Amino acid sequence: MTETAKLSWDDKTLELPMMSPTAGPDVIDIRKLYAQGDVFTYDPGFTSTAACESSITFIDGDKGELMHRGYPIDQLAEKSHYLEVCYLLLYGELPTATQLEDFEARVTNHTMLHEQMTWFFRGFRRDAHPMAIMVGVVGAMSAFYHDSTDISDPWQREVASIRLIAKMPTIAAWAYKYSVGQPFVYPRNDLDYASNFLRMCFAVPAEEYQVNPILARAMDRIFTLHADHEQNASTSTVRLASSSGANPFACIAAGIACLWGPAHGGANQAALEMLREIGSPNRIPEFIEKAKDKDDPFRLMGFGHRVYKNFDPRAKVMKQSADEVLDLLGIENNPTLQVAKELEEIATSDPYFVEKKLYPNVDFYSGIILDAMGFPTSMFTPIFALARTVGWISQWKEQISDPGMKIGRPRQLYNGPTLRDYVDVENR
């Protein structure tokens, strides 16, 4: 690799240092460009910008590969489980049996919420979207857990990380219970992470609830597939918020707010609603044409990706899991799954999608499984947020542990009015 990149314009020539990653493209270090060249770079969607250095997750968009600390997602989805993946993302290595047992015990012992928070939920209307409740409740955690908000204290950073990972299932489940008018179900320490979440969502005081192990395994796999994904929009939001020194609960609340958008984590809800609107395979061509029409803002939800220009490896695992779960639940000929498979077939052979390298992403099949499990579409993005919390927290920890961390403060290409004097109202 060359040591420097040469940049010339007008009468200027700059030599900018180049940096080599362990995987992915080389980068040109432009940190001194403005000081030495008096110019900015322009990249509003960050399509060509590395905003940080990280060793947590790597995506090869052309090959359709995703790895966490070097381990490929398909192996983790098959052989590992969510809390082990949490440990890997947080600490960088797969845990020994003792380390895993200790980590799972620490998470288990933090699953309850401060009892006063139950009143916080009650301030919402019953028809509030669960994502609105999650943004509010997670942000409010900084008002309940003061003893883990000092980010300069490594111990408080650790406690805040465990609290957030442990309490998100309780918050998401209670947001769901509140929306359906059922009483909150408290977590149980004798259940694994995914089983606890399913029980808190679907148990009622009137009868015993037995967790279906098939659903628990599928739920755990969905959590693993959503755990982290490099510098996506919500992770970048968390990093920018944490660069000001904001407390971890406020930063994660900012990430939840960003994830809610339909172009990002909100796509899983939008994708299932789109598949239901299509309704049957014979209406697919009509929607394909809408998606291709430049004058129509409609896009195929669950399709396309900023980085993947090949199949999203998570979508592949999710598609297999959808087949398994529906089969094991005895749900045959699920019309929505049939439409999804036909749509994938047609879209991925259509020249428009082939040329633009648009493939199904993580959000295309996930809703079919969640729907089969009994979740309303409004709970799809909260489940994504629950699972992504460990990714946000791992990236947050990586950033604030960096002694060279600086507050994120982008510049702009200004095209507004140049300097002019104030005009009194009588003279306008």
Catalytic residues: 305, 363
Among 138, 159, 162, 358, binds ligand SDX (CB under 6 A): 358
Stretch of 76-84, 108-116, 199-207, 305-313 lying at the interface with ligand SDX (CB under 6 A): 305-313
> Closest approach of Cβ 321 to ligand SDX, in Å?
16
Of 65, 83, 61, the C-alpha closest to 73 is 65
Chain center to CA of 130: 16
| Residue 11 DSSP code | T
Using the minimum distance from each CB to ligand SDX, give the nearer residue, 45 or 351: 45
Chain center to CA of 196: 21
What are the tokens at 245? 């020194």
Cβ neighbours of residue 390 closer than 8 Å, sequence gap 6 or more: 85, 86, 89, 90, 165, 227, 228
Using the minimum distance from each CB to ligand SDX, give the nearer residue, 106 or 264: 264
> Closest approach of Cβ 229 to ligand SDX, in Å?
3
Among 64, 187, 304, 313, binds ligand SDX (CB under 6 A): 304
| Count of C-beta atoms within a 10 Å radius of residue 288 | 18
Q: Scanning residues 383 to 402, which ones bind ligand SDX (CB under 6 A)?
A: none
Using the minimum distance from each CB to ligand SDX, give the nearer residue, 302 or 367: 302
Q: Computed over its alpha carbons, how large is the radius of gyration of the chain?
A: 23
Among 64, 139, 169, 302, binds ligand SDX (CB under 6 A): 302
The CA distance from 289 to 391, in Å, is 36
Among 356, 374, 401, 402, binds ligand SDX (CB under 6 A): 356
> Closest approach of Cβ 136 to ligand SDX, in Å?
22
> x/- binding map, residues 272-301, to ligand SDX, per CB under 6 A?
-------------------x-------xxx
> Closest approach of Cβ 38 to ligand SDX, in Å?
30
306 contributes a contact to ligand SDX by CB under 6 A = yes
Using the minimum distance from each CB to ligand SDX, give the nearer residue, 187 or 255: 255
Using the minimum distance from each CB to ligand SDX, give the nearer residue, 177 or 229: 229
> x/- binding map, residues 96-125, to ligand SDX, per CB under 6 A?
------------------------------
Q: Scanning residues 20 to 79, which ones bind ligand SDX (CB under 6 A)?
A: 45
Residues binding ligand SDX: number (CB under 6 A): 22
- Which CA distances in Å does 343 have to 13, 120, 226, 349, 361? 51, 42, 23, 10, 13
The CA distance from 371 to 385, in Å, is 17
Of 225, 232, 303, the C-alpha closest to 271 is 303
Using the minimum distance from each CB to ligand SDX, give the nearer residue, 64 or 265: 265
Using the minimum distance from each CB to ligand SDX, give the nearer residue, 261 or 281: 261
229 contributes a contact to ligand SDX by CB under 6 A = yes
Burial zone of 339 (CB within 10 Å; 0-12 exposed, 13-18 middle, 19+ buried): buried
Cβ neighbours of residue 321 closer than 8 Å, sequence gap 6 or more: 218, 221, 222, 365, 369
Asked whether 390 and 160 are in contact (CB, 8 A), the reply is no
Question: Closest residue (Cβ) to ligand SDX?
Answer: 304
Cβ neighbours of residue 14 closer than 8 Å, sequence gap 6 or more: 6, 7, 8, 33, 36, 37
Using the minimum distance from each CB to ligand SDX, give the nearer residue, 61 or 281: 61
Among 103, 120, 303, 392, binds ligand SDX (CB under 6 A): 303
Stretch of 14-22, 123-131, 137-145, 259-267 lying at the interface with ligand SDX (CB under 6 A): 259-267
Among 23, 204, 263, 354, binds ligand SDX (CB under 6 A): 263
Cβ neighbours of residue 181 closer than 8 Å, sequence gap 6 or more: 126
What are the tokens at 5? 């990149």
Of 247, 312, 238, the C-alpha closest to 51 is 238
The residues binding ligand SDX (CB under 6 A) are 45, 229, 232, 263-265, 267, 291, 299-307, 356, 358, 361-363
